[in-house]
Copies of this chain bind each other. A is one copy, B any other.
């Protein structure tokens, strides 16, 4: 097992250098057993015990977006007991060294991977993702991002050797000779604050980056999506114990309604690292207030699409329709504003006016989701009533180019399923700005008429600078426009996809190759995964003495 993990680690490190396609985690559902639902049902309607110290009660009230309560309660922690227990586990974990930590983390991931169908059910019934997406994004893709973090952490910690001999010549005198030892030292306890929509995909990078660099990790899940991270905590604790380490290196902090646990924990002196995915408001609060910690945030942005021209109009529309529909637009990477020159765009199907492009896009979405069974497999369910309310409010912000449609889920009639709304706006209309420059999380996009491609790029720059963006998509057949889009994204530090017309979508990134976010615009202060995501999690202490 250790040697196969070692080979996986080596390949992961190498792939981070080549940025080629690779994953040790198969993404096809058929690669996994069909035992997820039974395992999930066995978890429901009972306590989820983790054997943690400082458990002073039980908390939990998850309701599946597919329409039933999970009925699971989780340990509620007294931080005055739990945090010292976690801190006590640190020295032995630090002493294990970077390689051993990496291999134990890989064992955690391998065990999680083996339980992918169970995680898929847990993700589906907390986020509302459709099953296949829950399996892939919540399973192998999340595991990939975790492994990526481990590999990066290993590489950064081992760029300095464990030991070195330093010999300085002194002319005719004896040289100065020192033995030097270098030890990666973790910052302290890390706090992972999970999100509702991608608890594992957004949670695993921080969890494994912190753990692999020697830090105990306290996981505070979103109260509506506890189970996926609770399962991960259980697997991590079991793996750590099996490897001879204190299981309290990873622990869960479930919260009671309205308790504001994240806010309280984030300010504890013991918490030295925070990983957070969620609203801009709370992310900004963490950055401003959790001054004792290194804070990594992924917040909200306003993702822009610039349509200039295309030599594959049909492919462009299909690709974009898919991006707007996937998981009902409930992705931080989903496009929101589609900027289209008022005079239209050149395509392989001839010139298309703004109105025609908007109508064609609406048609592409409609066709994509015409079949209810296919539609629910792509849309999933709305994660919360707030998204439905936002969708309804958005219908009143402009001319409705595509009205949302309620779809009845064949298996889960209690699920709230809606097809996307497209609202047509004109950038020349002063009141429109407030609408499209605000993030509207959910199945809502704005087709914004602009004066020209140049104006679109100007608005792109402004949007990223003021509101941030996790993704930017451009369609153009002009290298000059591609260059201008590139300059705009370099200047504003946004990740750019160009001319996606096939099976790759702007809202998807591949671990080991693509960066998720940049860390350089207001949507996030961190990227998954780069050096800046890893290096602040540990320090190197040197012990030197004469040889």
A residues contacting B by CB (< 8 A) are 16-21, 91, 94, 155-156, 159-161, 164-170, 176, 178, 180, 182-183, 185, 187, 287-288, 291, 482, 486-487, 489-491, 493-504, 510, 513-515, 518-520, 527, 530-532, 534-536, 539-546
Across-interface contacts of A18 in B (CB, < 8 A): 161, 164
Decide if B91 touches A491 in the complex (CB within 8 Å).
yes
A539 to B464, CA, bound (A): 15
A163 to B536, CA, bound (A): 27
Across-interface contacts of A546 in B (CB, < 8 A): 499-502, 504
Q: List 23 A-B contacts (CB under 8 A).
A: A16-B160, A17-B161, A18-B164, A19-B166, A21-B167, A91-B487, A94-B490, A159-B531, A164-B513, A166-B513, A176-B503, A178-B504, A185-B520, A187-B520, A287-B291, A482-B545, A489-B541, A494-B541, A496-B542, A498-B545, A499-B546, A531-B534, A532-B536
A487 to B183, CA, bound (A): 11
Q: A150 to nearest B CB, angstroms?
A: 16
Decide if B531 touches A535 in the complex (CB within 8 Å).
yes
A454 to B273, CA, bound (A): 31
Q: A77 to nearest B CB, angstroms?
A: 24
Query: Quick one: closest B residue to A182, CB to CB?
Result: B19
Decide if B530 touches A168 in the complex (CB within 8 Å).
no
Q: A187-B520, A535-B535 are in contact. Are A489 and B543 (CB under 8 A)?
A: yes
Task: Pick the most buried of A288, A291, A518, A532: most chain B CB atoms within 10 A of its CB.
Answer: A532
Q: A185 to nearest B CB, angstroms?
A: 5
Query: Quick one: closest B residue to A171, CB to CB?
Result: B28
**Of B482, B513, B518, B544, which is within 8 A of A514 by CB?**
B544
Query: Quick one: closest B residue to A23, CB to CB?
Result: B168
Across-interface contacts of A182 in B (CB, < 8 A): 19
Decide if B518 touches A170 in the complex (CB within 8 Å).
no
A496 to B183, CA, bound (A): 11
A494 to B542, CA, bound (A): 8
Query: Quick one: closest B residue to A536, CB to CB?
Result: B532
Q: A178-B504, A288-B291, A531-B531 are in contact. Are A167 and B545 (CB under 8 A)?
A: no
A14 to B500, CA, bound (A): 40
Across-interface contacts of A518 in B (CB, < 8 A): 185, 539-541
Q: A176-B504, A180-B514 are in contact. Are A493 and B161 (CB under 8 A)?
A: no
A47 to B204, CA, bound (A): 58
Q: A167-B20, A504-B176, A546-B501 are in contact. Are A520 and B494 (CB under 8 A)?
A: no
A513 to B165, CA, bound (A): 9
A81 to B14, CA, bound (A): 46
Across-interface contacts of A161 in B (CB, < 8 A): 17-19
Decide if B170 touches A503 in the complex (CB within 8 Å).
yes
Across-interface contacts of A542 in B (CB, < 8 A): 495-496, 514-515
Query: Quick one: closest B residue to A157, CB to CB?
Result: B531
Q: A104 to nearest B CB, angstroms?
A: 20
